[in-house]
Structure 1
């Protein structure tokens, strides 16, 4: 193998990792903007149900601690 290919082989991994990180951060910024908006009423009702469930679980956990 010619000597000129060795530096190219040594740089292939860091350059590839840098490109992958760059593409992942670009994709992450784009998807985080979309996921941050809550528009549908179904999403609001699901969020209310989850908050209610969390409150119930916390109350049950508090009751369990008090009985011990």
Structure 2
């Protein structure tokens, strides 16, 4: 009986880790919609940066004239 309990205790940690890894992987696959949302936000920020760079360049040309 003691060997059975010892065996279960030894297997509990790897089994728990495997279950947690499986659940975390499942969560990443289900959260796929968030990736496109992040990509849209990145695109908007890049467009804003480009706009600010263009305004800065225009201000420099005006001040040089």
Query: Aligned residues, how many?
Result: 49
* Runs of at least 4 residues off by over 2 Å: 43-47
Q: Which has the higher contact order (CA 8 A, sep 6+)?
A: 1
Which structure shows the bigger proportion of residues in helix conformation?
2
Unaligned runs of 5+ in 1: 57-68
TM-score by length of 1: 0.54
Q: TM-score normalised to the size of structure 2?
A: 0.56
Aligned CA RMSD, in angstroms, stands at 2.8
